[in-house]
Amino acid sequence: MKPRVLLLSTVHPATDPRIIYKIAPSLTPFYEVICAIPGANNHDKDEKIRFVILPRFRRLLPRILFCYPVLLCKCLLFRPAIVHIFVPELIPAAFLFKMLGAKVIYEVQENLYKKFSIKRYNQAIVYRRLFKIFDGYARKKFYCVFTEDAYLEEYKNLPLPHAIIHNYVSVAFVDSHAEKEGVLKSPPVFFYSGVISMERSFDTLVEALALLKIKHPEFQVHLFGKVQFDWHEAENLPHFENVKEHLTFHGYTDLREIIWYASGATAGIALLKPVADYPDSYTTKLFEYMALNLPVITSDFPLYKQVVETSGCGFCISPYDAKKLAEKFEWLIENPSLAKAMGQRGRVSAEKHYNWISEERILQCFYKNLLKS
């Protein structure tokens, strides 16, 4: 009988690419995988994965008051061998599973010590202090998984084994949902996937599109992700009225659907400002764009330049420089053959260096050694 694994999150959507499309399928050949996650009933369930429905709340306090009881009632009886938590608010629940004999994996997907400064919700002082206390316990008592190398600068001297498992792209997953031959769209289409915020250069994008419109008045920008600003902030941007007809906001969307829209796009955009932990963390969308054969335009962080400039798959620019962004848009529109070659180089690099296959092996080995210990 396979050992039982519980993947647990009270925050992630039921189509979260890392949990649902990477980690869970990588474990199913060796384990009985149960995934407890909000909105699981809306997901096209994989027969090899058992889903447990959790209620969804944006605010932390309602999640603790109403989600925790459901979680504990439904999941404690499973008696999993391994519990893998993806958000720090689940650390107290994880201790209960540990008391019942489970090995607990605490996955750190962001450096909250830096990230609290830009959070719009659940950032009160009391939450910060509680996080620091529980995070301190977790790093001593749980096995840790980190999505970035830089997080080890914060999480030092860990007493238990840990692993770095990057959130690289599953090339096989992308290929299974992408069009085989993506014909370049006309008029041009630009593609953005991820949280939409001023910290992620939405203001710079709007100004750049206004400049682009002077020379290329016909284009479309598809934006997939949660909007994290008030609409009056967007409306107060000097050029928003001029370009808003070119913007299509799709909201959070299943990656399987997003991939279809990317086919034939002129470029993928992944600009982040140097705030919080952004300069230390890869934006996963960068690798997805590369797998989709899209030229990329991203920030000039050293971490990103190492990927993009080494691969020759796009441009790294200042996330504040709207003029430079507009120039890169123009160049890609006016040089389609060179842009296509950029996209192809990105694809090769994604296959060789930034493919989930390498991280899957680390994940499987980490789990195997965990049970041995």
Same domain, 106 and 189: no
Joined together, the tokens standing for residue 218 give 């016909």
Handedness of CA 298, 304, 309, 313 (dihedral sign): negative
Sheet holding 32-38, edge to edge: 49-54, 32-38, 4-8, 82-85, 103-108, 143-146, 162-164
What's the domain range around 292?
A: 171-353
- 283: nearest Cα among 264, 263, 269: 269
The residues that bridge with 35 in the sheet, in sequence order, are 7, 51
**Pairwise CA distance, residues 76 & 79, whole Å:** 6
What residues have CB less than 8 Å from 172, skipping those under 6 apart?
A: 356, 357
pLDDT value for 282:
96
Same domain, 321 and 368: no
User: Model confidence over 42-83: pLDDT tens digits?
Assistant: 455 567 899 998 988 888 888 888 888 888 888 888 999 999
pLDDT value for 44:
56
pLDDT value for 261:
87
**Pairwise CA distance, residues 321 & 324, whole Å:** 5
Sheet holding 247-251, edge to edge: 247-251, 220-224, 189-193, 267-270, 296-299, 314-317
Q: Is 32 helix (H, G, I), strand (E, B) or coil?
A: strand
Same domain, 13 and 98: yes
Answer yes or no: are the C-beta atoms of 272 and 278 closer than 8 Å. Answer: yes
What residues have CB less than 8 Å from 140, skipping those under 6 apart?
A: 159
Answer yes or no: are the C-beta atoms of 275 and 118 closer than 8 Å. Answer: yes
User: Model confidence over 198-208: pLDDT tens digits?
Assistant: 999 999 999 99
Same domain, 349 and 364: no
pLDDT value for 93:
93
Percentage of the chain exceeding pLDDT 90: 82
Answer yes or no: are the C-beta atoms of 190 and 267 closer than 8 Å. Answer: yes
Q: Rounded to 5 degrees, what angle do the CA atoms 357, 363, 369 make?
A: 140
Same domain, 111 and 183: no
User: In this structure, what are the phi and psi dihedrals at residue 52, rounded to the nearest 5 degrees?
Assistant: -115, 125
Domain count, the chain: 2
pLDDT value for 260:
87
User: Model confidence over 1-41: pLDDT tens digits?
Assistant: 899 999 999 999 999 999 999 999 999 999 999 999 998 76
User: In this structure, what are the phi and psi dihedrals at residue 146, rounded to the nearest 5 degrees?
Assistant: -120, 140
pLDDT value for 42:
45
pLDDT value for 41:
61
**Pairwise CA distance, residues 352 & 367, whole Å:** 24
Same domain, 236 and 267: yes
User: Model confidence over 273-312: pLDDT tens digits?
Assistant: 999 999 999 999 999 999 999 999 999 999 999 999 999 9
The number of residues in the chain equals 373
pLDDT value for 70:
84
Answer yes or no: are the C-beta atoms of 40 and 62 closer than 8 Å. Answer: no
Q: Mean of the pLDDT values across residues 95-111?
A: 95
pLDDT beyond 80 at 315: yes
Amino acid at 268: G
pLDDT value for 299:
98
More confident residue, 123 or 247: 247
Instruction: Count CB neighbours of 95 within 10 A.
Output: 16
Q: Mean of the pLDDT values across residues 88-92?
A: 94
pLDDT beyond 60 at 124: yes
Same domain, 264 and 202: yes
pLDDT beyond 90 at 160: yes
pLDDT beyond 50 at 126: yes
What confidence category does residue 181 fall into, taking pLDDT thresholds of 50, 70 and 90? low
**Pairwise CA distance, residues 297 & 319, whole Å:** 10
Averaged pLDDT of the chain? 93
Same domain, 154 and 72: yes
Answer yes or no: are the C-beta atoms of 363 and 165 closer than 8 Å. Answer: yes
Same domain, 187 and 74: no
Same domain, 163 and 267: no
Buried b / exposed e across 322-349, counting CB within 10 Å, b at 16+? bebbbbbbbebbeeeeebeebbebbbeb
Q: Which residue spans within 64-194 are E strands per DSSP?
A: 82-85, 103-108, 143-146, 162-164, 189-193
pLDDT value for 232:
93
pLDDT value for 62:
82
CATH number for position 57: 3.40.50.2000
Same domain, 234 and 366: no
Same domain, 221 and 147: no
